[in-house]
Amino acid sequence: MISIHNNVNNLPLELMVHLMSFLDDANNYTLITTCKYLNDYSKKFGYLTYIKADNSVNTMTFLKKCCNHIKTLKTIEIHLLENPHLWLVDYVENIIFDYCSVSSTVNPGKKVKTKKIKINDNNRYTNKATLNINWEYFPDLEDIELTVHDVNINGLNNCKKLKKININTSIERTHNTLPESLNINLEHFPKLKRLRYVHY
């Protein structure tokens, strides 16, 4: 009889990371408890696919957790923090900032593999700040969901893979002032299936 350890031990690291990325955290935990090799592997390379943080979480604990699981991490969700993007050690597949105030530019500083960005700015009615994102660093972006005062879409044409754009703004319209987010040229997005713009 061939042991699980021998089978798993022969798998390339890249394949292990790929296989674990398809499992949820509960199943990954079950997987790593099946043998010592998998348990040691998880301690070294991580297994979590989802991490959530809010203003009750210690910053260093959050950063360490992200670093330990960055190879398997798919979603980072942050609640009730100001400029939550400054907390990120890397931009994973799904980035969610819920009830967060974003006043500084979201700028990864390099091209990232992020496919979805969801931002809900809880201070949009009081701060009335325009959300700025360096779009050129998000070439794989497929889904944008923004609830903000307004958003600067200059450079959004770099996101050729966009399939869904959902923007809710609170900016006051006048004859001389229109939301930046209305200036979307659909010709730049050949894969776009849904465009939704709401003002309230």
Assign residue 147 the CATH number of its domain: 3.80.10
Same domain, 39 and 60: no
- The verdict on 53 and 29 lying in the same domain is no
The pLDDT, as a whole number, for residue 44 is: 83
pLDDT at 10: 72
Q: Are residues 132 and 37 in the same domain?
A: no
pLDDT at 92: 97
Q: Are residues 172 and 122 in the same domain?
A: yes
- Claim to verify: residue 62 and residue 34 sit in the same structural domain: no
135 & 163 share domain: yes
Of 11, 32, 47, which residue is a domain's last? 47
**Domain shared by 66 and 145, yes or no:** yes
Task: State residue 23's pLDDT score.
Answer: 82
The residue range of the domain holding 35 is 1-47
- Tokens, residue 48: 């979590």
Residues 2 and 61 in one domain: no
Q: How many domains does the chain have?
A: 2
pLDDT tens sequence across 48-57: 999 999 999 9
160 and 112 in a single domain? The answer is: yes
Together in a domain, 3 and 85: no
Residues 41 and 56 both lie in one domain: no
Boundary (domain end) residue, out of 32, 47, 62: 47
The model's pTM: 0.85
Q: With a cut of 70, which residues of the chain have pLDDT below it?
A: 1-9, 13, 172-182, 200
53 and 40 both lie in a single domain: no
